[in-house]
Structures are given as C-alpha cells and as structure tokens.
Amino acid sequence: MTTSERLNPGPTAEARASELYREHDAAVTQRTDRMFAALLGAQWLVAIVLSLVVSPYAWEGSQRSVHLHVWAAVVLGGCSRRRRSRWCSSSRATGSPDT
C-alpha cells in the first residue's frame, strides 16, 4: 500500500466509516434514551414518595391526609409516562424524528 492510498481512502472505506458512525450514533442515542427514561421514572417515584411523606403535614398541619393534587400527580404522571414510552418506541421503529 502506497502513501497516497493510505491518505486518500477509497469510496468503500468512506462508506464503511459512514456506516460505522451511524451504528455507533444509534447505539449511543438508544443508551442515552434508556438512561434518561430510567432517570425520569426514578425521579417520578421519588417525587411521589416525598409528596406522600411531606405534603400531608405541610398542607393540613397536624392532621395527616393525602391531598387530591398528590393523587392527581400519581395518576396523570403514570399516564403521561406510559404514553411517552409508547410514542418513543413507535417513533424509533418508524424512523421518524424525535422533535
């Protein structure tokens, strides 16, 4: 192999490099999406626990009761999380953008 061949790769090497880049980019994107999905789920659960522990005393004083807003956050947060995960998986399958 001459020096000029090493410095100027052919079209097959460029195509292979492009393919490897797309594969790596897809893997990083998928790993990042999963990490953030897990992080958002954990954050949602921690927020629910904190609202169940702290909020009843903060809003009602000495009498402990769970406020309607806490239950609404639990139900609506779960629904939106489930809907978001379905949308993300369907957009990945069809190849549509995430915007």
Higher pLDDT pick, 97 / 63:
63
Residue 68 pLDDT level (bands cut at 50, 70, 90): confident
Alpha-carbon dihedral angle through residues 66, 70, 75, 77, given to the nearest 10 degrees: -160
Dump pLDDT digits (tens) for 11-65. 788 889 999 999 999 999 999 999 998 898 888 889 888 888 877 666 656 777 7
Q: How is the chain split into domains, by residue range?
A: 3-94
Single pTM value for the model? 0.56
Backbone angles phi, psi at 63, to 5 degrees: -90, 125
